Amino acid sequence: MSNKPPRPHQAQDSRTFPQSPTAFVSLRQLLDSLTKEQLRNQELLVSLGFALRSFTNLHRFLELVPVLASRLAGVEGALVVPFLADGRIWRDQLQADPSELNQDLLSKLLMFKQGMAKGFASDESQLIALDRVVQRHMPKAGIFATSLVARGRQRGRLYVFNRNKPLVWSDIHRRHVQLVADLTGVAVENDQIVQEVRRHERVDRQLSIGAEIQSQLLPDHCPIIEGVELAACCRPAFEVGGDYYDFIPTRPEFVGPKREKGRWALVIGDVMGKGVPAGLLMTMLRGMLRAEVLTGLSPDRILHDLNQLAQEDLAQSHRFVTLFYSDYDPYSRSLRYANAAHNPPLLWKADQKSVSRLDAPGFLIGLQSEADYGLGEIVLSPGDVLLYYTDGVTEAAGLSGDRFDEERLIKALEICCRAGLSAQGILDKLFLRLDRFVGGDHQLEDDASMVVLKVREELTLPSLHVSLP
């Protein structure tokens, strides 16, 4: 360490170049300014993220977007143009900042006809045309445009601009604007998902109401008819189906034992198609048919009149109906029937130990206005079984792709009848066989309905346990 005094020229140097704090203060102020800007930008982005998480109203969120985008980019204004799910400009959600200076631009976008066409957002040339509309409105402006993208789909466009001078900004500014665009794309996507979910919920509620109404139209239990057992079940493929069966007293004024001994109409039908439209048409036909039954006409005349009554409504819906109508007299055990191209019921004759089809000629309901229907009649014997069913049973697809078909149904019915099962036992076994064929985890492709009528045995024997193949 040296104790010598400083040289004269050293002292002179110190006096000639004094140390000024001005440069350090300016640098400190610049750093402080940058830090404040960074903190401000972080707060703005945090605010936008909070709004994305918290706002359930997309309009309120979109009002913030151009304000925050312009501040983050340090520019005079910004514009957000969101798109609807079908690609059209979402005219109700256009937002600009400052709004009072951009009313003319918003009006031009509202009048932009190409933006009203479905699929507009997926056409790159149309997006360029949209950019040109904005550019022409501000010919001296410096403009930066970017897309709002979510899940790979265009959800809108975001513009930031200086009206009368070019943009002077850094890559950080550009990244901030792109981050705002990405968050906005997510917001638009989320809103459209929410609206779609709500729409499905409304449809589900309507379907539930429709299913409840239809379930009330189908008999909740089988009536008591002297000398026979009845069992019935409908399994709709959807919440609301087009299958229909009914038991209708031809003399509804009768009550108690008198009604049990009276003539009853037994009917099963199927509207071509599934879901709500089919269910509504079948509901309409049910009312018409119940009114026709009160006329006391024969089955062929009832189908003839029903066809004429329903002709106009079915023609407008472009749908047809198959229907098998029969009436049963417990006193004579006589069954009269007519068929409008429905699957012929299967008849098990106990004395012959065989199954045959119960059919009569006839056109679909609604196919042509003047249609004739054949009339058939048989007398049932004790132990006879009649199976009404819809094509959802025989057309059910198995795991291998094969159909359940009529042959399997006949074989299963024979096994049940030979075992002496009750009407309910037969119905349960047939549906069990169908379920095994389709597979427990698979849904039926079409509505499946079955109705079993069994004439009581004169001597009741214990039924045997039966196992279907």
Q: 């359940």: which residue's tokens? A: 404
Count the Cβ atoms, other than its own, within 10 Å of residue 426: 28
Q: Choose among 75, 77, 72, 63: nearest CA to 134.
A: 77
Identify the pLDDT of residue 2. 42
In this predicted structure, what is the pLDDT of residue 312?
77
Given this model, what pLDDT does residue 216 score?
63
What's the rounded Cα separation, in Å, for the pair 198 and 207? 14
Q: What is the pLDDT of residues 291-340, one digit of tens each?
A: 999 898 999 999 999 998 888 777 776 778 899 999 999 999 999 999 99
Q: Are 158 and 82 in contact (CB under 8 A)?
A: no
Helices (H), 99-234: 103-110, 124-137, 171-217
Residues in the chain: 469
Cβ atoms of residues 96 and 79 within 8 Å: yes
Domains in the chain (CATH in brackets) are 33-194 (3.30.450.40), 222-455 (3.60.40.10)
pLDDT for 26 equals 53
- Alpha-carbon distance 238 to 243, whole Å? 11
Per run of 10 residues, the mean pLDDT along the chain (length 469 residues) is: 44 46 53 56 66 71 86 89 92 89 89 91 91 91 91 91 87 86 87 84 66 67 94 76 85 88 93 66 84 92 91 75 95 96 96 94 87 95 96 87 92 95 96 88 79 82 54
pTM for the whole structure:
0.60
309: part of which helix (H) or strand (E)?
Answer: helix 299-317
Report the Cα 459 to chain-centroid distance in Å: 53
> Helix, strand or coil for residue 4?
coil
Average pLDDT over all residues of the chain: 83
| Contact predicate 344/359, CB 8 Å | yes
Q: Are 159 and 180 in contact (CB under 8 A)?
A: no
Confidence (pLDDT) at 384: 97
Cα 33 vs. chain centroid, distance in angstroms?
56
User: Which long-range CB contacts under 8 A does 138-141 form with residues at least 24 apart?
Assistant: 138/105, 138/163, 140/164, 140/165, 141/165
Query: From the DSSP assignment, how many helices (H) and strands (E) are in the chain?
Result: 12, 14
Secondary structure E strands in 31-152: 77-82, 95-97, 142-150
